[in-house]
Amino acid sequence: MSLQLPKKVTIIEVGPRDGLQNEKNFISTAVKKEFIFALKKAGIKELELTSFVSPKWVPQMIDAAEIVSDCLDEQTRNIVLTPNQKGIERVSMTDCKAVAVFVGVSNTFNKHNINKTTTESMKELLPIISGLKSKGYFVRACISTAFYCPYEGKILEEDTLALCREFVDAEVDELSVADTIGMAVPSEAFSLFSKLKQAFPGVLLTAHFHDTRKLALTNVFAALQAGVDRFDSSAGGLGGCPFAPGAAGNVATEDVVYMLERMGIDTGIDLEKLIEAVEIVKPHLSRSIESTYYQLQHHPN
């Protein structure tokens, strides 16, 4: 008997977006750009650059247009997030060709995050997706509260699958399915991702784990066993949704890369260069870097 492991895994770096969106103090556009350039130097090939959301709701992302204008390149899938038509209008004024839309399975979370019910959001998003696809955009759908909601508790697998089905029918390129508040355990991660893999073989399937209970890496391993070979992660383990109370950062890219590379799985990412990227943003953060890889480098026994 042996583990079921892929030879190669794709990391989708979400540090510049999920990682920074919840930072209290504004991080200058220049620092954000330097962070993004350093992540690319470390080998990141798919990256959430920023989000086009209301600056009243998420002030940190106010410089989205400027970030995009200076950070696009041919070698990377540079993705921007938006939840609505106004955001799409802003994106269409840039040269960015990869858009992530986002919605929660939980109505209550979606109301807190986007000020709409899930159904209202889908009514707005489905024509947006069709328009983007007809113009040749890469479309990623981020599914929040796929396991648990901070307001409604446990989410049924069938509800997550049903919402994913709506996006797959709309012909999105990718589903990024999230444990927004970091409450899933490996058995739940394995179960949901096995069902998603089986139900939607034709779509890129990505797992997005927050590390509130220090189980994110075990969930990555469980999702690997379910056949997932794409993971969202954040350099330094930064992140969290401002409207998901109690949620910690994303699983740290350096911890995921360390684990995968030690298991013989190619990520294409240079760990030392990745830490150089973390060092660029670290002095500007209101939090410390708690990833295991970073801590061991800086405080070895």
13 within 8 A of 48, measured Cβ to Cβ: yes
Minimal distance, residue 244 CB to ligand HMG, in Å: 7
Minimal distance, residue 184 CB to Mg ion, in Å: 13
Coil, helix or strand for 53?
Answer: coil
Q: Which stretch binds ligand HMG (CB under 6 A): 5-13, 35-43, 47-55, 271-279?
A: 47-55
Cβ-based neighbours of 130, under 8 Å, separated by 6 or more: 170
241 is catalytic: yes
Question: In angstroms, rounded to a whole number, what is the distance separating the alpha carbons of residues 233 and 18?
Answer: 9
Helix (H) or strand (E) holding 50: strand 46-51
Q: Which stretch binds Mg ion (CB under 5 A): 15-23, 30-38, 42-50, 220-228?
A: 15-23
- Residue 236 binds which entry of Mg ion, ligand HMG, none, with Cβ cut-offs from 5 to 8 Å by kind? none
Residue 121 interacts with ligand HMG (CB under 6 A)?
no
Question: In angstroms, rounded to a whole number, what is the distance separating the alpha carbons of residues 262 and 220?
Answer: 14
- Residue 61 is given by DSSP the state G
Beta bridge partners, 233, equal 13
Minimal distance, residue 161 CB to ligand HMG, in Å: 16
Which residues from 255-284 bind Mg ion, rule CB under 5 A? Answer: none
Task: Identify which of residues 85 and 272 has a Cβ nearer to ligand HMG in the complex.
Answer: 85
Query: Which member of 10, 29, 54, 92 binds ligand HMG (CB under 6 A)?
Result: 54
Residue 278 interacts with ligand HMG (CB under 6 A)?
no
One-letter amino acid at 131 equals: G
Residue 18 interacts with Mg ion (CB under 5 A)?
yes
Residue 51 interacts with ligand HMG (CB under 6 A)?
yes
Query: Which member of 19, 87, 236, 237 binds ligand HMG (CB under 6 A)?
Result: 87
Within 13-71, where are the H helices? 20-21, 29-41, 64-71
Buried b (16+ CB within 10 A) or exposed e, 131-143: ebeeeebbbbbbb
Helix (H) or strand (E) holding 189: helix 186-199
What is the token pair recorded at 113? 């995050």
Residues tagged active-site: 241
Q: What residues line the site for ligand HMG (CB under 6 A)?
A: 18, 21, 51-54, 56-58, 82-84, 86-87, 90, 102, 113-115, 142, 144, 178, 180, 208, 210, 241, 243
Q: What residues line the site for Mg ion (CB under 5 A)?
A: 18
